[in-house]
Amino acid sequence: MALRLLLCGLLLTGCRAAGRNIAPLHNPPPEHWSQRVEDEEFDGLVVFRRTDHLYHSGQPSPEQFKTLQQRLGIRTVVNVRRTHSEEKVVETLGMKYVWIPIPAWSLKQEHAVEFLKVMRDPSNHPVLVYCWYGGDRSNTLSAIYRVAVQGWSKEEAIREMTEGGNYFHPFWQNLVWTVREMDVQRVRLLAGYGAPDQVEPESSHVSDSRMETRSR
């Protein structure tokens, strides 16, 4: 029985990895879309820059957390995995740790609000949000940030999320639905941003002289 469960888990993991959008579906991709951060020091960890103060990735190792802090200046780490806590590792390195456990099949409005509250405080920047692969839950929260704070249309944010090479897996269409059906005004108000017409959208331009990146 245990062997059967293990094999089923490995099969599901393989299926989820195999269908991922690992390269942009547009050549070249729009310049304002997210960029993959290329750095050998990350030792294989895939990291995406949405803005100069928001990054998303898959699960880092303890050494990779240290590298992220050193190379990107990360101040706050947001973990959205449900069963893995890296609080001790992150806080030992001097970074702030926020845990928002989210099931991939049930990302709700309150999760988005909690994440946007973290993003609203400039003292938390730069922020890294991570999940297992870096392409589903953390990618979706980054898309919600695009819409709720930067003023992107939902469809443009969804295109970047699903077609931008951000490791999104089409299995999780519920996450697309979450972005599409989100009550933007309510989410902004609950997160403390005010109504959409009260704040000018942030620039989506990506620039950072600390590291060279390649568009994804």
pLDDT in tens, 105-118: 999 999 999 999 99
The domains located in the chain, with CATH, are 32-197 (3.90.190.10)
pLDDT band at 180 (very low <50, low <70, confident <90, very high): very high
Q: What b/e readout covers 94-124, taking b as 16+ CB neighbours within 10 angstroms?
A: ebbbbbbebebeebeeebbbbbbbbbeeeeb
pLDDT at 165: 82
pLDDT at 213: 37
Say yes or no to pLDDT of 8 above 90. no
Say yes or no to pLDDT of 12 above 50. no
Query: Cβ distance 45 to 77 under 8 Å?
Result: no
pLDDT at 194: 82
pLDDT at 30: 87
List C-alpha distances in Å: 81 to 103, 116, 133, 202: 8, 17, 10, 28
Residues 6+ apart with CB under 8 A from 49: 34, 35, 36, 37, 55, 206, 208, 213
- Environment class of residue 156 by beta-carbon count within 10 Å: exposed (0-12), middle (13-18) or buried (19+)? middle
Q: What is the pLDDT of residues 13-70, one digit of tens each?
A: 443 445 655 555 556 778 899 999 988 889 889 999 999 999 999 999 999 999 999 9
pLDDT at 27: 64
pLDDT at 22: 54
pLDDT at 61: 95
Q: φ, ψ for residue 59 (rounded to 5)?
A: -65, 115
Q: What is the pLDDT of residues 85-142, one digit of tens each?
A: 899 999 999 999 999 999 999 999 999 999 999 999 999 999 999 998 888 999 999 9
